[in-house]
């Protein structure tokens, strides 16, 4: 089934064939293993880089994402920490910008699938006494 969610097409690094199955682990043409490259969620209505850049003003990136109350809370928190200590204020500002730019952007389905495969493999290895 063709992948309809990815914004960019995937290609095999060995033979340059187009990969049409979103969760393919091997190339259909040459059999080369494929890396997991779809990390960002396909259902985002905003751009992470824009939110990150707007966070030059604390909370503005969250405001852009549509979480206005969270943006206001971040603005107040960062300003409070800037008034108490410049280094703590800067640290909170960086955390605020990272949260605005990257919070909620990871494709959670990809993480769940990878971790459940590892967990299943570990359980089967323990069941066979390989541990």
pLDDT of amino acid 91: 96
Quote the tokens at residue 110: 């990809």
Using pLDDT thresholds of 50, 70 and 90, give the confidence band for residue 1: very low
Q: What are phi and psi of 18, to 5 degrees?
A: -70, 140
Given a contact cutoff of 8 angstroms between Cβ atoms, the answer to whether 130 and 78 are in contact is: no
Q: What would the pLDDT profile of 34-86 be if each residue is shown by its tens digit?
A: 766 555 565 667 788 898 899 999 999 999 988 999 999 999 999 999 999 99
The owner of tokens 């990150």 is: 52
**Residue 131: pLDDT over 60:** no
User: Could you tell me the pLDDT band of residue 127, with boundaries at 50, 70 and 90?
Assistant: low
Q: By three-state DSSP, how is residue 109 classified? A: helix
The whole-number average pLDDT for the span 24-35 is: 77
- Residue 13 makes CB contacts below 8 A (sequence gap 6+) with 32
- 95 pLDDT tier (thresholds 50, 70, 90): very high
What is the pLDDT, as a whole number, of residue 85?
A: 94
Q: How far out from the chain centre does Cα 18 lie?
A: 23
Q: What is the DSSP letter of 104?
A: T
N residues, the chain: 131
CB 29 within 8 A of CB 17: yes
The DSSP-derived string for 38-103 is --B-TT-SS-HHHHHHHTTSTTHHHHHHT-HHHHHHHHHHHHHHHHH-HHHHHHHHHHHHHHHHHT
């Amino acid at each position: 089934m063709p992948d309809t969610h990815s914004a960019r097409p995937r290609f095999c690094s060995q033979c340059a064939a187009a990969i049409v199955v979103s969760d393919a682990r091997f190339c259909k043409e040459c059999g080369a293993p494929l890396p997991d490259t779809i990390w960002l969620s396909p259902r985002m209505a905003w751009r992470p880089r824009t939110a990150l850049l707007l966070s030059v003003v604390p909370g503005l990136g969250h405001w852009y994402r549509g979480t206005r109350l969270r943006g206001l809370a971040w603005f107040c928190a960062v300003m409070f920490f800037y008034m108490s200590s410049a280094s703590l204020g800067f640290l909170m500002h960086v955390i605020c910008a990272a949260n605005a730019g990257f919070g909620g952007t990871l494709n959670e389905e990809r993480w769940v699938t990878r971790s459940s495969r590892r967990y299943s493999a570990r359980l089967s290895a323990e069941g066979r006494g390989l541990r």
